[in-house]
Amino acid sequence: PLHSHPSGRHFLQIPGPSNVPDRVLRAIDNVTIDHRGPEFGELGRAVLSGMKKVFKTESHVIIYPASGTGAWEAALVNALSPGDKVLMAETGHFATLWKKMAVKLGLEVEFMDGDWRHGADADKVKARLQADTEHAIKAVCVVHNETATGVTSNIPAIRKAIDAAKHPALLMVDTISSLGSIDYRHDEWGVDVTVSGSQKGLMLPPGLSFNAVSAKALAASESARLPRSYWDWKEMIAINAKGYFPYTPATNLLYGLYEALDMLFSEGLDNVFARHDRFGEATRRAVRAWGLEILCKNPAEYSSVLTAVIMPEGHSADAFRKTVLTHFNMSLGQGLSKLSDKVFRIGHLGDLNDLTLCGTLAGIEMGLDKAGVPHRKGGVQAAMDYLAGSAAAPAVKA
């Protein structure tokens, strides 16, 4: 407010919230209707059934008027009891926050340590579950796309590990920064509770979050004893059957969700995923051409949603981000907790096309120069060569 408005659009290239498309903004900008009236029921049913397609589930999806953190809590309190053992994988900052929440809620957490450069280790999960012959562990919790590091864990491999150990633990997965950007299959991958949020791949503002709930998780919730009221699946599911909510829903965000779902389905989910894969690859080519290091160590786990880049020794990632913001009006993601000031994160998710990505990478390349960060030129060129040479679905029909 203290500055005159800069010309052109702000580049919001953090790994969520992502840019909200104009179509979605306009949909949100409609009059709020009676959430118990007939029109609302139609809207409610449409977004609930659309979200099932996005999660790839025939089972229940719950929509909360809450940030992703609320949906994390909902997953734990609905399915677990005080003192239950849960096995969680330390993939980075967000996995650590989920773990802290579980401890606060009175769960006994076993945190499988990680170096914040790899995904969840399926072999470790298998070994730990095999050793748990008494089946004390009630849930395995994994963050699909660790937004702090740009590492995507292999969820089918975790499922296989649980099955190989013949262990009955529930599988809970956080897809807050992957849903609608990276392939995800709640039913096929045998996930019991999938947690997600509105502000990343779903291209909405923050404020909605989700649980997809398997029949097994729903059955577990019948005897689970952690206190819950607002987050209770049961009442929600009963009232959702007709498209309504037990309390006042975030009506205008649901208008936005309706529109965003239409955009995702008209592009086609597979095309959406392929688009993100291309952006991830183009970005990594740029980073390598600059001579900088990608935080994710395992190419099989590279995230298509964001790339975390390690700052050269002796240089401040935050000072660099500040230079980029000041000179080019672009926000990049900061390093979180132990990665603070050591990495910057490039968001390449949501409502993004080849030229938005090129603009983003150009802002970074110019910023590296301005901030005096040692690098080679040619990152943007490397990305452009890849984008021009790799077939994408035509953006505009000829």
In the annotated binding site for substrate, the residues are 345
Select from 28, 143, 257, 368 the one that contacts ligand PLP (CB under 6 A).
Answer: 143
Q: Does 67 bind ligand PLP (CB under 6 A)?
A: yes
State yes or no: residue 94 binds ligand PLP (CB under 6 A).
Answer: yes
Give the strands of the sheet with 60-64, arranged side by side: 60-64, 209-213, 193-197, 170-174, 137-143, 85-89, 108-112
In what helix (H) or strand (E) does residue 42 lie, and over which residues does it extend?
helix 38-55
Kindly give the residue spans of alpha helices, DSSP state H, lying in 153-302.
155-164, 215-223, 233-240, 251-267, 269-290
Q: Does 346 bind ligand PLP (CB under 6 A)?
A: no
Task: Check binding of 252 to ligand PLP (CB under 6 A).
Answer: no
Binding of residue 333 to ligand PLP (CB under 6 A): no
Stretch that binds ligand PLP, among 50-58, 172-180, 227-235, 284-292 (CB under 6 A): 172-180
Q: Is 202 in the site for ligand PLP (CB under 6 A)?
A: no
Separation of alpha carbons 321 and 333, rounded Å: 8
174 binds ligand PLP (CB under 6 A): yes
Site for ligand PLP in 177-196 (CB under 6 A): 177
CA distance 277 to 132: 37
173 binds ligand PLP per the rule CB under 6 A = no
Among 23, 33, 69, 239, binds ligand PLP (CB under 6 A): 69
**Alpha carbons 125 and 201: distance in angstroms, whole number:** 28
Cα–Cα distance measured from residue 250 to residue 255, given in angstroms and rounded to the nearest whole number? 9
Using the contact rule CB under 6 A, the part of the chain among 52-60, 66-74, 123-131, 382-390 near ligand PLP is 66-74
Contact region with ligand PLP (CB under 6 A), list: 57-65, 173-181, 258-266, 299-307: 173-181
Beta strands in 328-367 (DSSP E): 330-334, 343-347
Cα separation, 28 vs 204, in Å, equals: 9
Tell me whether residue 79 or residue 362 sits nearer to ligand PLP (CB atom): 79
Cβ–Cβ < 8 Å for 193, 214: yes
Q: Is 116 in the site for ligand PLP (CB under 6 A)?
A: no
Where along the sequence are the contacts to ligand PLP (CB under 6 A)? 16, 67-69, 94, 143, 147, 174, 176-177, 197, 206
